[in-house]
Amino acid sequence: MMSLGEMATWLPLPGAIPQFCARYVDASVGFAVGWNLWYQCSITLCVEISAAAVIIQYWPGAQDINVAAWIGLVIAIIVFLNVWAVSVYGEAEFIFASIKIITIVGLLLLALIIDLGGSPTGDRIGFRYWKNPGAMNQYFGTGDKGRFLGFFSTLVNAAFSFGGVEAVACAAGEAENPRKNIPKAVKRVFWRILFFYVLGALFLGMLVPYNDKNLLTAQKNNEPGAAASPWVIAIRRASIPVLPSIINAVILTSATSSGNAFLYTGSRYLYGLAQNRQAPRFLLHCTKKGVPIYAV
């Protein structure tokens, strides 16, 4: 990531990654990487839109409306944010990111309070669940082998959440003062992962055992929205009302934000491919605001 940040700082180009591959490795590598990245963004965009529609169904009455209506609404919002100037996209992402950061910081503090016995139940949890049933579940085996396979199966799923961090380099071509701002953004990626992902996983492991009935039931029944979220389960176990709906709303903004980001990066990858003559040339057409409208 640091190397990619250095390259994007030195040569800020739209859709930077396939551009770099074509320039410094081979045109065929740029072609393959570019179209694979575009495909990844396209598929993940659909995933995020579908997830947002399912999240909306968490609230009473939402399930009475055809899910296609919610999908159409989310698509309209995401497209609207991307067809205007990139500053509109940037402002929207700033708002979405602020909501997520405030929420995760609040959840980390809440988790610490619950763990230390500050919830209405007064139950001091500590590291109880690391002893019974244990910190790691066993998967397709027992003992160390089962724990390793459990870790590895979780790692594959968790890796999906890290997709998109390269968007910092992708946005370099349209960033204000990239030589100053790109290094700052790239350096913060590590600390954000450490703080939000690692600490979040640590606290969740302390608050919710892997064999929790609510967790297993929600996953088995594909319950909509935040019902299967360990955060919601931890809050419900602590007998704290209202917060589950708030968390569901934040998850909804997060899914919308992710879809927004994947549409942005996917369109820039496509634009970069067109610049390298590896995609139709009409995709190079931009609006007066500099948005590659056909790529979007």
Domain with 166 in it: what CATH number? 1.20.1740.10
Checking if the pLDDT of 165 tops 80, the result is no
Residue 178, domain extent: 1-292
Query: For 65, phi and psi rounded to 5 degrees?
Result: -100, 140
Q: Which amino acid is at 123?
A: D
Checking if the pLDDT of 152 tops 80, the result is yes
Q: Which amino acid is at 128?
A: R
pLDDT score for 228: 64
pLDDT score for 204: 84
Number of domain units in the chain: 1
Chain segment 172-221, per-residue pLDDT in tens:
777 778 788 888 888 887 787 778 888 888 888 888 888 877 776 766 66
DSSP H or E stretch at residue 112 = helix 86-115
